[in-house]
């Protein structure tokens, strides 16, 4: 059961406001504020707005953390409060599964700059704990007091979905009664922008950042880098009911596969990502005809979005794929890498709760290679939705899909 949600996203610093702005078709893109970008070919990103970590974290502790850890702690605190769970009552039965694709990229860059400019004696003793990817999970456990399973996926852009799936499995096999599950990423740094742009992965629409992320649109030219932290509180049904918790939805399925194909490009056949979706449907015990919404991974890259269209046809079947509403919320949030799956899981849960499907914004011209129903530009009512799924695919061939069902008391 999903009993709590928390998120800091480029749309807002909480889950519900992020959701309402997503439904309104807003974009989180704007000029980069975190470093001087004048000499860089890309001048914009989807950053958090007015994010103050000390709203959720002690000021001294916050100074010892990279931004990616600050963001996941903010989201975790929100989700803990939202769920009403009292972790201190049974800390050994509550765990954390927190993902990131990169980890402390800003701290790594800062550490190298100090080493180069001031020498090895001036490198901070907090540098390594700030950089290593597992410290998002570590800080959540330390600050919230969880003493159950502690896991940290680092599987590129599939990491959050895998972290959520790991948390589901931990509850299913009895290692925990509740799990704090999600992901975080803070990649908007000089090296992050330079590195991804050198791969030709980023959109260069500097003249109109709000229109730059345009999943499935014929004129898409690359992703927009985003940052975020998002968390779901997962609980075993009896545990949630015993304490009278509100239940947003059920997490009922998880599937995972690998491409074994290419370092960065998707599986050209589409068969392996489709297999992850099929595994998730089988795990959930649902037929493809029951899927009422797909939150697509689609990042606004020419190759990736066309590939996912093929994947959806394989997994859902051609006829069902054409009937199923699909959207990519990355048009609004940008691509938040290791946090993307968690942010999109929150949105998928809220779509099922509210029976409202978020739009794919900036969709203006159809691409013959992307010929499904992508909920263009305006949110859509879905009064009959019961089941939805969310895809995440990552560099290296990592594929993951989760399935959510509307909860019936």
pLDDT of residue 262: 85
Does the annotation mark 157 as catalytic? yes
Task: Kindly give the pairing relationship between strand 44-45 and strand 30-31.
Answer: antiparallel
pLDDT of residue 373: 98
What is d(CA 356, CA 382) in angstroms, rounded to the nearest whole number?
A: 5
pLDDT of residue 264: 72
Does the annotation mark 43 as catalytic? no
Which helix (H) or strand (E) is 277 found in, with range?
helix 271-284
Collapsing DSSP to helix, strand or coil, 380 comes out as strand
What is d(CA 248, CA 234) in angstroms, rounded to the nearest whole number?
A: 10
Choose, from 46, 157, 336, 389, the residue flagged as catalytic.
157
Which domains occur in the chain, in start order?
2-242 (3.40.47.10), 254-406 (3.40.47.10)
Choose, from 37, 239, 297, 398, the residue flagged as catalytic.
297
pLDDT along the chain (409 residues), means of 10: 98 98 98 95 97 95 95 98 97 98 93 92 91 96 98 96 98 98 97 94 96 98 98 97 97 94 82 96 97 98 96 96 98 98 98 98 97 98 97 94 93
Choose, from 335, 336, 389, 398, the residue flagged as catalytic.
335
Does the annotation mark 389 as catalytic? no
What is d(CA 142, CA 151) in angstroms, rounded to the nearest whole number?
A: 13
Token pair 């059961």: residue: 1
Query: Among residues 185, 198, 120, which one has the least CA distance to residue 159?
Result: 185
Contact partners, residue 29, CB within 8 Å, separation at least 6: 10, 44, 45, 46, 209, 210, 212, 213, 224, 334
pTM: 0.96
Q: How many CA atoms lie within 13 A of 46 on its CB side?
A: 35
């Amino acid at each position: 059961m999903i009993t709590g949600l928390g998120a800091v996203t480029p749309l807002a610093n909480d889950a519900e406001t992020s959701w309402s702005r997503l439904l309104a078709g807003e974009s989180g893109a704007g000029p980069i504020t975190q470093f001087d970008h004048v000499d860089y070919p890309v001048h914009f990103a989807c950053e958090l707005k007015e994010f103050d970590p000390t709203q959720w974290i002690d000021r001294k502790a916050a100074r010892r953390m990279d931004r990616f850890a600050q963001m996941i702690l903010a989201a975790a605190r929100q989700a803990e409060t939202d769920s009403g769970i009292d972790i201190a009552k049974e800390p050994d039965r509550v765990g954390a599964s927190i993902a990131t694709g990169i980890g402390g990229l800003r701290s790594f860059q800062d550490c190298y700059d100090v080493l180069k400019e001031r020498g090895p004696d001036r490198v901070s003793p907090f540098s390594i704990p700030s950089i290593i990817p597992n410290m998002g999970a570590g800080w959540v456990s330390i600050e919230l007091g969880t003493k159950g399973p502690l896991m940290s996926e680092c599987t590129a852009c599939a990491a959050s979905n895998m972290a959520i799936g790991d948390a589901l499995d931990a509850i299913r096999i009895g290692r925990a009664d509740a799990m704090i599950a999600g992901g975080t990423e803070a990649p908007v740094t000089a090296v992050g922008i330079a590195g991804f742009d050198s791969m030709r992965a980023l959109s260069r629409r500097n003249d109109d950042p709000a229109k730059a992320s345009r999943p499935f649109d014929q004129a898409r030219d690359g992703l927009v880098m985003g940052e975020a932290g998002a968390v779901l509180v997962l609980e075993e049904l009896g545990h949630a009911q015993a304490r009278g918790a509100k239940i947003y939805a059920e997490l009922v399925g998880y599937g995972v596969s690998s491409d074994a194909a290419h370092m960065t490009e998707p599986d050209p056949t589409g068969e392996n990502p489709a297999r992850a979706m099929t595994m998730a449907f089988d795990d959930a015990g649902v037929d493809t005809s029951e899927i009422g919404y797909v939150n697509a991974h689609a990042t606004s890259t020419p190759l990736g979005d066309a590939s996912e269209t093929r994947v959806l046809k394989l997994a859902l079947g051609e006829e069902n794929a054409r009937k199923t509403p699909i959207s990519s919320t990355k048009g609004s949030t940008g691509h938040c890498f290791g946090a993307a799956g968690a942010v999109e899981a929150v949105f998928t849960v809220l779509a099922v709760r509210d029976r409202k499907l978020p739009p794919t914004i900036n969709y203006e011209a159809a691409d013959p290679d992307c010929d499904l129903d992508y909920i263009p530009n305006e949110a859509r009512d879905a009064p009959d939705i019961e089941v939805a799924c969310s895809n995440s695919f990552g560099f290296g061939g990592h594929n993951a899909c989760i399935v959510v069902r509307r909860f019936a008391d």
